Structure 1
Amino acid sequence: MMQLNKHSPPLAVARTIVDLVVDGVAVAAVAPQTDVATSVVMAGGVMKNQTIVAKNNNNGVADNITHLCLSYSDMSIYFSRPSLLDLVTTLRHRPNDSLTVVANINFYGNYIDFGFPSQRILSTPNAGGGGVTSLMSEAVSAEVIDRLVGISKVLTEMEIQYSTKGPITDYVCYSSSISQALGVSVTRAMAFGRRFTAKDAMRLMKKKISGINKSTLTVSNYKFQRQILHVWAENGTDAAIVRRACAKIPDTIRKNTIILITTINMDSVFASG
């Protein structure tokens, strides 16, 4: 639990992670029905909880919290403070910029409190070849995106229409907190029966980003200017491999795609069949 001194400002109430950014500053906050914000140290894929004593800067904001957590009854989402600022700033003010950001999700038990967007994905036919597991990775993605930026409208995979045949987007959503539409493509950084390698990551990222560039131009019934490529990774090592691969892809290829790499301890996201 985060400790505050007697001069610390009260913790804000946050609906989404975007709400943790106030006037360009990432602050500690508590989401409805959650625990308080905590600090997380990420090192070699190992996550360690760390108690923080908040101090005030000249603006009255707790300024020594380097990592933030949005904690719910079913999961906690961990972001580094700079990554959170980059994500929100890029979404709100940099429509032409690409960004790669890493987050960690700690899933509790075997139950997710799915909201409306993810429930729609689970109850709508899926065009992918991954069956139930593909559907689950997309539904959990929608749940995370909803908690990050707030989703007020969603079109599922089979509801999206295209002007020509080609790569498709997994779902389209409208974010109420940033007031813009986003396409979301979901993939998993994994290799069946062997270790995931840098070569695997580069091949996967080039393929998915190329598909995003094409599908953004051909969606005909719901226009958006940017997509999020949501990459699920089983551990910090694989997440780091993906991040290094993304750094080697030229800006001319990545364009304005936001690459969100998230680790999660949830087997059904990665199961085959």
Structure 2
Amino acid sequence: MSVRISAEDALLLSAFAVADLSILVESECQVRGGDWQAVVPKLGPDARRVHAEENAGGASVISEALSMEVLCRLLGARLVCTELELRYFPAAGPITDYAIALRGGDVLGVSVTRAFSFGEAALSVPHAAALLSKKLAGILHSSRTCFNQNLSKQILHVWCDGAADVALLRLAFGLVGPELSASTLVLVTRCENLPELFTEKGKAPRKRARPLKGLKDEAHLAALAESCPLRPQQRRTTAVDTALRAGSRLRGKN
């Protein structure tokens, strides 16, 4: 696995850590053989942790783990929090995929997405602009609501499977308003020989077995018995019957 970035983009990437810049930088990640299972043992410990730990759902395990590996190699980043370790208030709303610390100690949030053609429809500038706007708005929300890490700066890491899509994203980034891109670095990484990165599907949720309609468990039956309106009358009837039988026995003795 190799990661490449131009000298100019490397400088911009480093500058983002110390200044509020609204920028897009490009990088390239190539994987030999195109087999994700062969890549996993070669990942660093932080990327392997992202890959192994449960996330909030969706088809993003490979993209997030590979993102962590790229940022480790480009920035010397280390993992601070995985997706489910970040806390938010209010809890509902967009969340960040993981948080990293740079060599200087600055903590950044990282949100990961993929931009590629869907079916026969090619990726377009309007589609790319809509994707960036949605993700950048979500980043602003999670920066405000995360309370156990200071995510005042974040990285939007976008995966593409071709140079043409990278060019479209750069054009689309110019259409995004500055109110959305403030304090967020957009890192576009091209990866052309790892199909699983773009074809990964989320795990199907486990379905709970549904009880038969009308079937009641023991606790439910006990509750029904306790609330039965005939139950006190049944007790009174039993007491009367007992008294009558006792009276009959006494009369028989006399």
TM range (shorter): 0.7 to 0.9
Query: Residues of 2 paired with 1:137 and 1:253: CA distance?
Result: 23
State the distance in 1 between where 2:86 and 2:164 align: 34
> What is aligned with 1:232?
159
Alignment match, 1:264:
191
Q: Which residue number corresponds to residue 104 of structure 1? A: 28
**How many residue pairs are counted as aligned between the two chains?**
193
Alignment partner, residue 163 of structure 1: 89
Q: Report the residue type matching 2:101 in the other structure.
A: Y
Partner of 1:115: 44
- Considering Cα pairs closer than 8 Å and 6+ residues apart, tell me whether 1 or 2 has the greater RCO: 2
Distance in 2 separating the partners of 1:179 and 1:272 = 33
Equivalent position SS for 1:125: coil
Structure 2 spans left out of the alignment, 5+ residues: 202-254
Distance 2:137 2:67 in 1: 20
Report the Cα offset of residue 153 of structure 1.
Answer: 3.4
Higher share of residues assigned helix: 2
Aligned to 1:180: 106
Q: Distance in 1 between matches of 2:117 and 2:51?
A: 25
**What is the aligned-residue identity percentage?**
35
Normalized against structure 1, the TM-score is what? 0.68
Does residue 254 (structure 1) correspond to residue 181 (structure 2)? The answer is yes
CA drift of 1:183 comes to 0.2
Shift of 1:154: 2.5
- Residue 189 of structure 1 aligns with which residue? 115
Aligned-pair CA distance for 1:233: 0.2
1:32-71 matches, cutoff 5 A: none
Which of 135, 138, 148 is equivalent to 1:208? 135
Counterpart Cα distance in 1 of 2:196 and 2:80: 23
**More displaced stretch, 207-216 vs 188-197:** 188-197
SS in 2 for 1:161: coil
Structure 1: give runs of 5+ residues left out of the alignment.
1-74
Which residue of structure 1 lines up, in the alignment, with residue 149 of structure 2?
222
SS state at 2:17 partner: helix
Counterpart amino acid of residue 180 in structure 2: I
SS of equivalent residue, structure 2 residue 58: coil
Per-residue CA deviation, residues 83-133 of structure 1 (Å, 9 max, x unaligned), is: 1111112223x1x22110011122112332111111111121111322xxx
* Alpha-carbon shift at residue 179 of structure 1 (Å): 2.4
Offset of residue 152 of structure 1: 3.1
Could you tell me which residue of structure 2 aligns to residue 51 of structure 1?
none
Which range moves more in the overlay, 210-219 or 82-91?
A: 82-91
Equivalent residue number for residue 129 of structure 1: 58
Change (3 A) 1:153 1:77: closer
CA separation in 2, counterparts of 1:159 and 1:231?
22
With normalisation by structure 2, the TM-score equals 0.73
Q: Give, in angstroms, the shift of residue 253 of structure 1.
A: 1.6
Residues 179-203 of structure 1 deviation map (CA, whole Å, 9 limit, x = unaligned): 2101000000023202111121011
C-alpha RMSD of matched pairs (Å): 1.3
- Once the two structures are TM-superposed, the CA of residue 149 in structure 1 deviates from its matched residue by 1.2
Equivalents in 2 of 1:251, 1:204: separation in Å?
15
